[in-house]
Structure 1
Amino acid sequence: MRATLRWAGADLRAHRGEALFIVLATAGIVASLLLATALFGYATNPWQRVFTQSKGAHVWIHTGASADAGRLASLDGVTSVSGPYRTAAATVESRGTRASVELRGADGERPTTGRPFLVSGRWLDPGTPDGVVLESSLAWALWAEPGDSLVLPGTSRTLTVLGVADSAEPRYRPGERAGVVWAPPSALPRTDGPTGQVIGLRLADPDDTDYAVQRAVTTLGAGAVTQVSNWQQARAEAQGDDRLLGQVLGLFGLGALVAAALAVYGAIGTRIRGHLRNISVLKAIGFTPGQVVRIFLVQHVAFAFTGAVAAAVLMQAAGNLVPGRLGDAVGVWQGLPGHTAALFGVPVAAVLFIAATTGLAAWRAGRVPPVPVLRAAAPLGGPLPGVARGALGLRLPPALVLGMHKAFSWRPRSLATTARLALPLLLIVVALSAWTTIDRFHSKPEQLGLAAALTARADEELGDQRARALLAENPQITAVHPGVEVAALVPGQTGTIALRGLGTAQDPYPFSLAEGRAARGRDEAVAGQGLLDLLNVRLGDWVRMTVGGRPQILHIVGRSIEPENGGRVISTSLDTLRENDPKLQPTLYELQLRPGADPRAIGAELTEASRGRLDVHTVTNPADGLSPLRGVVAGLIAVLALIGLIELLTAIGGTVRESERDLLALKAIGLSPRQITLVSVTATGCTALAAVFAGTALGVPLAHWLIDAQGRSSGIGAGIARAPSPVLLLLFGTAAVLGAAALAALPAARAGRRRLADTLSAVA
């Protein structure tokens, strides 16, 4: 053991650079995995992010106005409270849209517990007595932004929106749950609705919500408590839309883990191959194969442990100082449940994996013969093929020919290096495809099932003809498609689907079709993927459904991209539905706008022009819920780029080391040090080029398959995936190849200037 440790110490002093590289590579990979974990928790659970940042209450209890809600602060298990706040029920109106709200009296300082997290604008100002802050889901429903005015119907009062804030409480639901409006206490007594109080309790044990509610009811009396909500309920509602984010990031996390694992394996294998001469010397002086294996295993486990600990400490101490979304993600992740387990678990798993990888490579090192085998001074990569000899005959630079031959010799080691480098590049291409698909939803929604930007509904007093005439007067509206949408019973009457009649035979609605053709004939329809899966039907089948007690039989001739209702939608023309019910009148109008038009501004104009008899809403874009994914994708690209950089440095080290061993042959054929440097740089650049081609060729179809598979599972359907533009892919590949060549230039130049005496000792 003493001899083993002495040799390990001597080797460390002699190869400080290699040891430092292993430590830094391990630290970089562990930091990458920790960043991926932080990004996953940051993006897949926005509710948890808001709850952590706002120090949310675990239980919200609504009581009557006369209850002494402040007594709940002294209950066992309650660590802090938010409130109590006086409340009043009211109705507010903005741009023709009304919503039931709970006015909540709050002062100019945001509370410590249950602290609303401002998204835009500012908090309440005592100098603005009618200024209010809206909860974000309520603001979205009202189309309200800071600076807008809210009207209280039936009164002459108006409220000015000062800000919009996220809250960890249950969201606003029209007709089911009132939205939260924070207002100065002076604004509450003037409301005519019922009043009360609300208090938020933050518990020492979040799972004790039921017990805390029981104690609260016992303390205040059963008649005093009017409503209770807890954090589990709010989280369940908020997490319903996060499945796609979780799946996408889970896939990237798994890919990053595999790429990091291969990078570690390549780095360790390259280092041990560089010590073959030392291994032979050890065996010659009496070291057994087991001792040789133990030497490298102890060394690399120690390196891995040092790097992993350094990464964990750095991430915990300064991870939140990273600028941009990554720093925000780490800061929030540090307060999420499971943070401590991940902070210890990821480094431990990395060290164990490195130990297993080192054991395999060290076992191979233990089989090295005691007498080193002299390498023949042969051309790099084996005998030159006819193509290379022909290239030399055309007087191409020998350094370029030899470098390309070395990279494209297709030896198992070269193929393995190319494959390891191609994996992170492949994942980056997939990430870029996800980014492009989300951008396409925003920039060209008409290609993804969102031809209309606004939906207008007219009341009975306005009527169909007057509604169409009013809509046609707006110059920003390019097309008005009348229609109806009703709930239909599926065969067997075991569930309901959405049946839509949009457009007419003279002016058909522009559905986005992924398969089949448009519905033009009698009884023809197009259906979403969710409906096809629900009814187990295909294009060309006839479907019978029941609408208001009447049968409706439709022939499915196409599959449309349907972002709404989980794709469980079947659409035909309004004329087809009128054949079954001649008295059917349009109940909604799908409005197409001019490019660049502001849907909210046009909606406000229509509401004002109709004097509130048109209820206008923006069409929900599924990409709105994926907005956080853009910043997260950028962070994942940075993580994958770091892993690719580590693998590239390993490949450069192996290429340069082989060039040092082949230095005699290269000098013998008359190459200068500059040409020898160019051989290594060319080999590295060609390896990167091969990896870029492989990553792009496999990444684009893989991205299409993954995105379309997610579209099918969500009901939207396949056909939504979009690949990055060829220009972007070309820039990406060019940057990767030029970056690889630039990184290889300095170590290759140093190797090309080595003395022949040093070279002889290296090959001996």
Structure 2
Amino acid sequence: MRAMLRWAHADLRTHRGEALFLVAATAGIVASLLLATALFGYATNPWQRVFTQSRGAHVWIHTGPTADTGRLAALDGVDALAGPYRTATTTVASRGARAGAELRATDGGQPPTGRPLMTSGRWLDPATPGGVVLEAGLARALWAEPGDRLTVAERTVTVLGVAETAERRYRPGERPGTIWALPGAVPLDRTGGQVVGLRLADPGDTDYTVQRAVTTLGAGAVSDVSTWQQARGEAQGDTRLLGQVLGLFGLGALIAAALAVFGAIATRVRGHLRDISVLKAVGFTPGQVVRIFLVQHLAFAVLGAALAVLLVRTLGARLPGRPGDAVRVWQGLPGHLPALLLIPAGAVLFIGAATCLAAWRAGRVPPVPVLPAAAAPGGGLSGAARKALGLRVPPALVLGWHRAFGRGRRAPAAIGRLALPLLLITVALGAWTTIERFDSRPEQLGLAAALTARPDGTLTDRDATALLRAHRQVTAAHPGLEVAALVPGQTGTIALRGLGTRERPYPYSIAEGRPARGPDEAVAGQGLLDLLGARVGDWVRLTVAGHPQVLHIVGRSIEPENGGRVISTSLDTLRENDPGLRPSLYQLQLRPGADPRAVGDELADASSGRLDVREVSSPADRLSALRGVVAGLIAVLALIGLTELSTAIGGTVRDGERDLLALKAIGLSPRQITTVTLTATGCTALAAALLGTALGVPLALWLVDHEAHATGVGAGIAHAPPPLQLLALVAAAVAGAVALAALPAARATRHRLADTLSAVA
């Protein structure tokens, strides 16, 4: 045992850099997997916690004020009802901020089903008739806290508390927030209605129960339906995407690290044939030799995994943005400690499995070393190499090329191992480029408008259009409206959008088919096509406020909002069924370089507050944390690539030591011998970089489009990294390889003849 430890210690002192790279790469990989687990837990468990503690309803149905919702309690599978609650749609204002809200009348006691969970303040109190409780998302949008005063429906109210709910969350301009108030504070006007929640005995029967509920009430009485799956999906949102990205790259990096460890041990075995033979000659068994290599590299893996656990435990909660929030929430979940132990253990075992095969080869080394065949540098030169020498190509370059690609199966294996982290880096750059396009080219990704303007009802259509188009920075103001529509089968609601006119159509981003131009033509998002099982060219029948709307889907548009469950047509098409429809919003296109925030402030001032102008939310805002994640992944993959490069350089230098006498015999100077090694290393890195980028670009496009399709946005948003970026990656790989190899190659040429003879003996 002492001899084994002394040999391992001597080997570690000789290869400190390689050991450091292995430890750092393992730490980065395990940390990525732990963060991925934290993000998955953060995406799912907070909503599940709220749903369980509030005894949430699986279905929420909005109806007209006269619908007999009490009949829903008799439906099979309905376990309990939440409400019905009388509602009114209004606007709430606080500190200059405005938001759409749904006032919900309830008494002073909390309901047993679908009850809000108080996060601050207190619940409604009949002793305070002017008090309200805000949904947490709405409170954040208004910067409101308990004790603040708000303007709701032209009345001043006091915020008593803020509560979480398992219902679908507030989205500016898309879905109003919820305000709970006493019945006397909810006005009886034309915006009034009812909302009722259904808690089901079997959540799997949600679609069937919704269909029966709509049939019972009548399609004309139902204005909106939302389910627990939609609420959970919105709560998970882009955090789930972050977890998927981290998990995917973490597993890919783990495979790359395992291959790097395998290559490191295999190369080390070839470089230590004489030492291994001496160990066997003095009595070491093959099993002991295997254990030396296995235990040494398992120690590196354990050290890296322990370092990752320590970093995540101590610094994970301090990470900026969503990853830090995810770690804080994850650390309070029941499955936190098992995951913190099982993930590092699994990574160590995976690396150990790759180590076993390479270490087993070390055990098969014979006690008497065998000189490798074709040791001479010129032996077996290819016809192309001989022809290059005949063309007076410098011999150092030709011999370097031959050393890189003339080593049988070892050359493709080294290139493949180095190409894998470069491939993953290319995929990461593809994800980064796609995110950047939401900022640089939003019009190509379904975000042609920069601002959304909503009149308060006192402006006529003509006045609003004239006011908006008069601004020098506004190039187009497209009138429109968005309503909830029941899908065929009446199992849920989707967004039906009428935007633009046939004379001035809205510039949708069409990924398939063509834009909607004629009567009854529409374009749909991928989420809607998947929901209906429809394709471009199909006709669909929707129900809007009890009236049928038949549309011909002529194209698929990129829809980054509402999970892609959007069907869009012109405002003229919707007016054919209801000529009295007025636009409720205007989508504004601005001149290139215009500041949306400044333009919005100027329009709001010009309208004397009669226009609520907001910036269009971009997925790039919600995916901003992904940039930091991608940068961290690239750093981890670069460490793995450096580990593999150090292995390849070590093998090339050791091969050069065997050839040193022959190279000097044919008249090569020390500088030319160094050039042979640098050329061999550079050629290997160049081949790996070209292979990694060539395979990484199509893989990046496929992965991004596949994820976009799965989230409802739709394929067609992926974009390959710029050619200059790929060229910089290839150049960095080659330059880094040559720079790392320069010092070892120069040292090898200064070896004494006795050292060189012993290396080949």
- TM category (shorter chain) comes to 0.7 to 0.9
Q: 1:513 to 1:305 in 2, by over 3 A?
A: closer
In the alignment, which of 450, 455, 466 is matched to residue 452 of structure 2?
Answer: 455
Quote the offset at 1:684 in angstroms: 1.1
Give the structure 2 partner of residue 632 of structure 1. Answer: 629
Give the structure 1 partner of residue 26 of structure 2. Answer: 30
Kindly indicate whether the alpha-carbon contact (under 8 Å) linking 1:91 and 1:101 is maintained by their aligned counterparts in 2: no
Q: Alignment partner of 2:27: what SS?
A: helix
Q: 1:465 to 1:334 in 2, by over 3 A?
A: closer
In the alignment, which of 599, 602, 608 is matched to residue 599 of structure 2?
Answer: 602
In the alignment, which of 410, 422, 425 is matched to residue 422 of structure 2?
Answer: 425
Distance in 2 of aligned mates of 1:552 and 1:334 = 46
Asked if 1:538 is matched to 2:553, the reply is: no
Q: 1:330 to 1:487 in 2, by over 3 A?
A: closer
Give the structure 1 partner of residue 208 of structure 2. Answer: none
Kindly indicate whether the alpha-carbon contact (under 8 Å) linking 1:95 and 1:604 is maintained by their aligned counterparts in 2: no
Quote the offset at 1:711 in angstroms: 0.8
Q: 1:24 to 1:332 in 2, by over 3 A?
A: farther
What TM-score comes out, normalization by structure 1 length?
0.74
Kindly indicate whether the alpha-carbon contact (under 8 Å) linking 2:446 and 2:557 is maintained by their aligned counterparts in 1: yes
Counterparts of 1:124-273 in structure 2 under 5 Å? 137-138=137-138, 141-142=141-142, 176-177=177-178, 238-273=235-270
Give the structure 2 partner of residue 668 of structure 1. Answer: 665
Q: Cα deviation per residue 1:444-495 (whole Å; 9 max; x = unaligned)?
A: 2111001112222334432212221222222221101122322333333333
Distance in 1 of aligned mates of 2:609 and 2:427 = 47
Code of the residue aligned with 2:575 in structure 1: it is R
Asked if 1:278 is matched to 2:275, the reply is: yes
**Any stretches of 5+ residues in structure 2 without a counterpart?**
55-90, 104-118, 122-133, 187-230
Distance in 2 of aligned mates of 1:330 and 1:154 = 37
In the alignment, which of 26, 36, 43 is matched to residue 40 of structure 1?
Answer: 36
Distance in 2 of aligned mates of 1:316 and 1:538 = 46
Give the structure 2 partner of residue 711 of structure 1. Answer: 708
Kindly indicate whether the alpha-carbon contact (under 8 Å) linking 1:319 and 1:327 is maintained by their aligned counterparts in 2: no
Distance in 1 of aligned mates of 2:314 and 2:670 = 44
Distance in 1 of aligned mates of 2:265 and 2:326 = 29
Code of the residue aligned with 1:750 in structure 2: it is R
Asked if 1:438 is matched to 2:435, the reply is: yes
Quote the offset at 1:155 in angstroms: 10
Kindly indicate whether the alpha-carbon contact (under 8 Å) linking 1:24 and 1:307 is maintained by their aligned counterparts in 2: no
Code of the residue aligned with 2:357 in structure 1: it is L
What TM-score comes out, normalization by structure 2 length?
0.74
Q: 1:573 to 1:18 in 2, by over 3 A?
A: same
Distance in 2 of aligned mates of 1:242 and 1:330 = 9
Give the structure 1 partner of residue 94 of structure 2. Answer: 93
Kindly indicate whether the alpha-carbon contact (under 8 Å) linking 1:100 and 1:178 is maintained by their aligned counterparts in 2: yes
Q: 1:693 to 1:463 in 2, by over 3 A?
A: same
Quote the offset at 1:305 in angstroms: 4.7
In the alignment, which of 496, 499, 503 is matched to residue 506 of structure 1?
Answer: 503
Q: 1:169 to 1:644 in 2, by over 3 A?
A: farther
Q: Cα deviation per residue 1:393-421 (whole Å; 9 max; x = unaligned)?
A: 22222111111222233732111111111
Quote the offset at 1:6 in angstroms: 4.5
Asked if 1:680 is matched to 2:681, the reply is: no
Kindly indicate whether the alpha-carbon contact (under 8 Å) linking 1:377 and 1:665 is maintained by their aligned counterparts in 2: no
Quote the offset at 1:15 in angstroms: 3.1
Q: 1:306 to 1:614 in 2, by over 3 A?
A: closer
Distance in 2 of aligned mates of 1:176 and 1:421 = 52
Give the structure 2 partner of residue 700 of structure 1. Answer: 697
Quote the offset at 1:424 in angstroms: 1.2
Q: Alignment partner of 1:15: what SS?
A: helix
In the alignment, which of 505, 512, 515 is matched to residue 515 of structure 1?
Answer: 512
Q: 1:47 to 1:285 in 2, by over 3 A?
A: closer
Distance in 2 of aligned mates of 1:156 and 1:322 = 42
Asked if 1:497 is matched to 2:482, the reply is: no
Q: 1:713 to 1:658 in 2, by over 3 A?
A: same
Quote the offset at 1:100 in angstroms: 7.5
Distance in 1 of aligned mates of 2:621 and 2:12 = 51
Distance in 2 of aligned mates of 1:341 and 1:648 = 35
Distance in 1 of aligned mates of 2:150 and 2:730 = 56
Quote the offset at 1:496 in angstroms: 2.7
Quote the offset at 1:138 in angstroms: 4.9
**Any stretches of 5+ residues in structure 1 without a counterpart?**
61-89, 103-113, 117-133, 160-165, 180-191, 195-233
In the alignment, which of 391, 395, 404 is matched to residue 392 of structure 2?
Answer: 395
Give the structure 2 partner of residue 293 of structure 1. Answer: 290
Give the structure 1 partner of residue 731 of structure 2. Answer: 734
Kindly indicate whether the alpha-carbon contact (under 8 Å) linking 1:39 and 1:326 is maintained by their aligned counterparts in 2: no
Quote the offset at 1:745 in angstroms: 0.5
Quote the offset at 1:137 in angstroms: 5.0
Quote the offset at 1:517 in angstroms: 1.5
Code of the residue aligned with 2:410 in structure 1: it is R
Code of the residue aligned with 1:399 in structure 2: it is A
Distance in 2 of aligned mates of 1:329 and 1:486 = 35
Q: 1:399 to 1:497 in 2, by over 3 A?
A: same
Distance in 2 of aligned mates of 1:582 and 1:326 = 46
Distance in 2 of aligned mates of 1:540 and 1:381 = 66
Kindly indicate whether the alpha-carbon contact (under 8 Å) linking 1:18 and 1:271 is maintained by their aligned counterparts in 2: no
Q: 1:256 to 1:168 in 2, by over 3 A?
A: farther
Counterparts of 1:60-99 in structure 2 under 5 Å? 92-95=93-96, 97-98=98-99
Kindly indicate whether the alpha-carbon contact (under 8 Å) linking 2:540 and 2:551 is maintained by their aligned counterparts in 1: yes
Asked if 1:468 is matched to 2:465, the reply is: yes
Kindly indicate whether the alpha-carbon contact (under 8 Å) linking 1:92 and 1:151 is maintained by their aligned counterparts in 2: yes
Distance in 2 of aligned mates of 1:679 and 1:719 = 46
Give the structure 1 partner of residue 382 of structure 2. Answer: 385
Quote the offset at 1:329 in angstroms: 9.0
Code of the residue aligned with 1:741 in structure 2: it is V
Q: Alignment partner of 2:623: what SS?
A: helix
Asked if 1:374 is matched to 2:375, the reply is: no
Distance in 2 of aligned mates of 1:507 and 1:446 = 16
Distance in 2 of aligned mates of 1:288 and 1:708 = 54
Q: Cα deviation per residue 1:582-628 (whole Å; 9 max; x = unaligned)?
A: 44333322111222333333333333333343333332212221111
Distance in 1 of aligned mates of 2:545 and 2:495 = 13
Quote the offset at 1:696 in angstroms: 0.8
Q: Alignment partner of 1:674: what SS?
A: helix
Give the structure 1 partner of residue 746 of structure 2. Answer: 749
Give the structure 2 partner of residue 76 of structure 1. Answer: none
Distance in 1 of aligned mates of 2:538 and 2:390 = 66
Give the structure 2 partner of residue 570 of structure 1. Answer: 567
Q: Cα deviation per residue 1:39-84 (whole Å; 9 max; x = unaligned)?
A: 4367667789999xxxx9x999xxxxxxxxxxxxxxxxxxxxxxxx
Quote the offset at 1:364 in angstroms: 2.0
In the alignment, which of 559, 576, 580 is matched to residue 579 of structure 1?
Answer: 576
Q: Alignment partner of 1:719: what SS?
A: coil
Kindly indicate whether the alpha-carbon contact (under 8 Å) linking 2:265 and 2:293 is maintained by their aligned counterparts in 1: no
Kindly indicate whether the alpha-carbon contact (under 8 Å) linking 2:42 and 2:329 is maintained by their aligned counterparts in 1: no
Kindly indicate whether the alpha-carbon contact (under 8 Å) linking 2:317 and 2:325 is maintained by their aligned counterparts in 1: no
Distance in 1 of aligned mates of 2:97 and 2:297 = 68
Q: Alignment partner of 1:662: what SS?
A: helix
Give the structure 1 partner of residue 640 of structure 2. Answer: 643
Q: Cα deviation per residue 1:300-333 (whole Å; 9 max; x = unaligned)?
A: 4455555655x35873798679998999799969
Distance in 2 of aligned mates of 1:257 and 1:407 = 26
Tell me how large the CA RMSD over aligned residues is: 4.2
Q: Cα deviation per residue 1:523-565 (whole Å; 9 max; x = unaligned)?
A: 3221111122122222222223333444333222211111122
Kindly indicate whether the alpha-carbon contact (under 8 Å) linking 1:293 and 1:365 is maintained by their aligned counterparts in 2: yes
